[in-house]
Copies of this chain bind each other. A is one copy, B any other.
Amino acid sequence: MINARTFKGARDFLPEQMLHRERITQIMRNVFKKYGFAPMETPAIEYLDVLTGKYGEDADRLIYRLDYKTGTKDAAALHYDLTVPFSRVVAMNPHLAVPFKRYQIQPVWRADRPQPHQGRFREFVQCDCDVVGTSSIVVDAELVAITYEVLKMLGFNEFVIKINNRKILNGLTQYLGLSPDMTGEVCRSIDKLDKISWEEVAKELLEKGISNDAIKTAETLLTKSEISLSSLSSAFAAIPEALEGIRELEDMFTYLECMGVDAANYTFDLSLARGLDYYTGPIFETKLPNHPHIGSLTGGGRYDNLIGTFTGKSMPAVGTTLGLDRIYTAMEQLEMLVPMKTSTQVLVANFSEATVIPCLQLVAQLRSIGVCTEFYPEQVKMKKQFAYADKQNIQYVLILGEDELRQGKVSLKDMRTGEQVIIGLEEIEREINK
């Protein structure tokens, strides 16, 4: 006998979870389409060299490799995100009309330490929107607007989309008198500011060889509760790249306003850095300020050089990921999900051998008018059949017994009210739609 167990860090989704997950992704699909995005998919399996060298060393270690031609150029692995596979597809399809706007909803895999309470798993679903072929900040703003609209439609209110720009972070490195190749290290440390204290971040920066003076300067900028873009403008007046980054965010905020995105749900945050190496411009990430233990619900940014790693020619691109598992974990913990077991509206009871045929005809008729209908497959006591409907939260039980058959009627019981009526076949539809 085999010990039945689920792979560590992965989960089974029973109907009570999947009905919600399907509803959430359906809402996303509708919003994505409304913004002009079309669906795309890429295989779970990619050649290993397609994936490595883009995320940073720490992330590369978390890629799941297959036991298949290991050590050769055909070594394969499971994709770690959807952005790199998407970039590969763009590189392979130079005929695509640009701006190319696609969404992609698929699982990704990371050999990480699972932390279920925080919504961190080894297999989880990413819902990505990306645009390639334009440097216009309008599309960066649209991705933030999509994030806002999806979260509002799902019932979230108190979320904050934090926005920053890698160009401003490059400027910060320069401002601190550090060499440009330190930006990555500095980013990875200050990115932890929402989880650990400034003192701990400062200690980490010191260990990375940053001078005490530079750390003090950084402190004045990063520990102010809200530093505005305009005050940064004066501080970074001599750093053209930072000024460009600030101007991009100013435009973005203007666009967000005229698209009707509530200013309470987004903010500039100089400490937002995002872990991945490939970002080059605006970056964004959504947190629930009242539930800081739940990881980011969404995250994304501009990555103008990633496609170039395949083509040798840089191509502007920006995207965001809505994390289905983070969003689902948050909705579960915030009790935003109404219990559901099935979509079935009517259970047709199995009364006796003699009524199976007319029951199946009735079931077929109900299904043909779009009523989600089950026929109880076993001839067991009515009590047991009602108990099934009750457990599954099916609203109606329909009985076509021998008496009803003779009369050309059916008995319809509403499980919520307990009321039972005897009606003609032609009245069923009206009754259950009441």
Contact = CB atoms under 8 A, between A and B. Distances in A.
Nearest to A138: B377
Contacts of A91: 4
Interface residues of A, number: 101
Contact of A18 (B38, B138, B309): B38
Contact of A375 (B38, B138, B370): B138
A64 interface: yes
A421 to B, nearest CB: 22
Q: Tell which of A43, A372, A373, A391 has the most Cβ of chain B within 10 Å.
A: A43
Interface in A372-389: 372-378, 388
B107 A2 contact: no
Contacts of A376: 99
A97 interface: yes
A342 B89 CA distance: 17
A231 interface: no
Q: How many copies does the complex hold?
A: 2
B40 A14 contact: yes
Interface in A341-363: 341-344, 356-357, 360-361, 363
Interface stretch (A66-74, A162-170, A189-197, A287-295): A66-74
Contact of A43 (B6, B312, B342): B6
A97 B389 CA distance: 10
A198 interface: no
A111 B68 contact: yes
A242 interface: no
A33 interface: yes
Nearest to A8: B74
Interface in A26-49: 29, 33-36, 38-47, 49
A40 B67 contact: no
A39 B67 contact: no
Interface stretch (A255-263, A270-278, A329-337): A255-263
A123 B43 contact: yes
A303 B5 CA distance: 20
Nearest to A373: B36
A364 B262 CA distance: 13
Contact of A341 (B15, B38, B122): B38
Most chain B beta carbons < 10 A, residue from A38, A97, A371, A375:
A38
A312 to B, nearest CB: 5
A188 interface: no
Interface of A: 1-8, 10-15, 18-19, 21-22, 29, 33-36, 38-47, 49-50, 53, 64-68, 70, 74, 76, 78, 88-89, 91-93, 96-99, 101-102, 107, 109, 111, 122-123, 131, 134, 136, 138-139, 142, 145, 254-255, 258-260, 309-312, 341-344, 356-357, 360-361, 363-364, 367-368, 370-378, 388, 391-392
Given A13-B41, A22-B39, A67-B67, 18 more contacts: A4-B311, A5-B47, A5-B50, A7-B46, A12-B41, A12-B43, A13-B42, A14-B93, A34-B372, A44-B44, A44-B78, A44-B107, A67-B68, A98-B388, A99-B378, A101-B374, A134-B377, A145-B364
24 contacts: A4-B91, A4-B310, A6-B42, A6-B43, A6-B92, A7-B47, A7-B76, A8-B74, A12-B40, A14-B93, A14-B96, A15-B40, A21-B39, A33-B343, A35-B373, A36-B344, A36-B372, A44-B107, A44-B109, A45-B123, A138-B375, A145-B364, A258-B357, A260-B368
